[in-house]
Structure 1
Amino acid sequence: MGTASGIIKALNSGIKHIATKRFTFRYPEQKLKFVGDGYQYDPDSGVGIAGYKGRHILFHDKCTGCQLCAIACEDIAEAIAMVKVPEQWKHNKKAIMPQIDYGKCVFCGLCVDACPFYALYMTNDYELSSFTKEALIYTPAQLQVKPKVDQDVEIQIDEKGANHG
């Protein structure tokens, strides 16, 4: 009796979703259109500000080299290494800033949560593919550059699920 009811439940679920508009688009010609900023964290209120978790952006003038982002990443992905920076970017006494290896990063956002100085945010830039592993390592200079994101497909989420327009 259990097998028959399981088959009926599966068929019922399949039939319910037959008329649902599909969430398929032709990438890279069509891309997701994200509204708002990337993921941020407000340490004063202890609340994460909703946003998509893509490539990080580093504000050199706010980074103190405290290494809390690397410590937060240590047991998860070990994607953040603190590296020496040239004199022109030396905004902190230690002259070190984070370097992120996107080949290891799991985009959890804990590094953003750990930064008490608002120096690290996550942006909406999700296109990080590369032909080499070395190109996935973003130095502090590369993390400083605000990503240019051109997107043209908007996502609407309703009670039936996600649809694109």
Structure 2
Amino acid sequence: MLPMITGFINYGQQTLRAARYIGQGFMITLSHTNRLPVTIQYPYEKLITSERFRGRIHFEFDKCIACEVCVRVCPIDLPVVDWKLETNIRKKRLLNYSIDFGICIFCGNCVEYCPTNCLSMTEEYEFSTYDRHDLNYNQIALGRLPMSVIDDYTIRTILNSPQKKRG
């Protein structure tokens, strides 16, 4: 008779333990109902990037001195810099600059080590294309400002100002 009583006691203890575990799981589930949703509706809502986000690289052609520091510090030797030596002034003249964002790892070394600060990181992160060759940006595509900057009220005011139209 004693083993039967201990069996019932063990069964009761196991039942109470299972009920406690179920209750704990239910309390965790209820605690998540008060949180705000993390999901965003992507094409219509966009994530706010952090201050140090490393997105698409912006290039300013006029500032570049064709020193090729960006190519030397790049872990994959990605930027393609074409230049011509001007013998009369003994300086390099930049002809072409391009980066293939299909290969770029966005490490930011080129931006950090550029002596003239002609490279900068933007907040742009949407690079979806149907053809990977469209991700090879030349100096014209790299020089374009991202849409978030162009849509900014202060930039629109400057672009539409009468002083800008005269010059």
* TM tier, smaller: 0.5 to 0.7
TM-score (norm 2): 0.60
Unpaired runs of 5+ in structure 2? 1-20, 85-90, 150-167
Cα offset for 1:24?
1.2
Percent pairwise identity? 31
Q: Which residue of 2 is the match for residue 56 of structure 1?
A: 57
Q: Give the structure with the higher percent strand.
A: 1
CA displacement at 1:60 relative to structure 2: 1.1
Which residue is 2:5 aligned to? none
Flag the structure with higher helix content.
2
SS of residue in 2 equivalent to 1:57: strand
1:105 corresponds to: 104
**Counterpart of 2:162?**
none
Structure 1 segments, 4+ long, off by >4 Å, are none
Partner of 1:46: none
Structure 1 131/84 Cα, relative in aligned 2: closer, same or farther at 3 Å?
Answer: farther
What is the alpha-carbon distance in structure 2 between the residues aligned to residue 95 and residue 55 of structure 1? 21
Matches within 5 A, 1:133-152: 133-149=132-148
Letter in 1 for 2:38: F
String of CA shifts for 1:10-61, please: whole Å, max 9, x gaps: x99xx498354332101111112347xxxxxxxxxxxxxx522111111111
**Contact 2:65/2:92 (8 A) holds in 1:** yes
Residues 115 and 79 of structure 1: CA distance in aligned 2, closer, same or farther (over 3 Å): same
Deviation at 1:96, TM superposition (A): 4.0
> What CA distance in whole angstroms lies between the structure 2 residues aligned with 1:123 and 1:58?
10
The amino acid across from 1:93 in the alignment is K
Q: State the alpha-carbon separation in 1 of the partners of residues 70 and 92 from structure 2.
A: 17
TM-score computed with the length of structure 1 as normaliser: 0.60
Once the 2 structures are TM-superposed, how far is the Cα of residue 97 of structure 1 from its aligned partner? 4.6
1:81 CA displacement: 1.7
If asked which structure has higher relative contact order (CA below 8 Å, sep 6+), I would say 1
Correspondence for 1:44: none
Structure with higher Rg: it is 2
Name the SS for the 1:111 alignment partner: helix
**How many aligned positions are there?**
118
Aligned-partner SS, 2:111 = helix
Residue 23, structure 1, aligned to residue 38, structure 2: yes
Please tell me the residue identity of whatever aligns with 1:111: C
Distance 2:63 2:105 in 1: 24
Instruction: Note the aligned Cα RMSD (angstroms).
Output: 2.9
2:114 is aligned with 1:115: yes
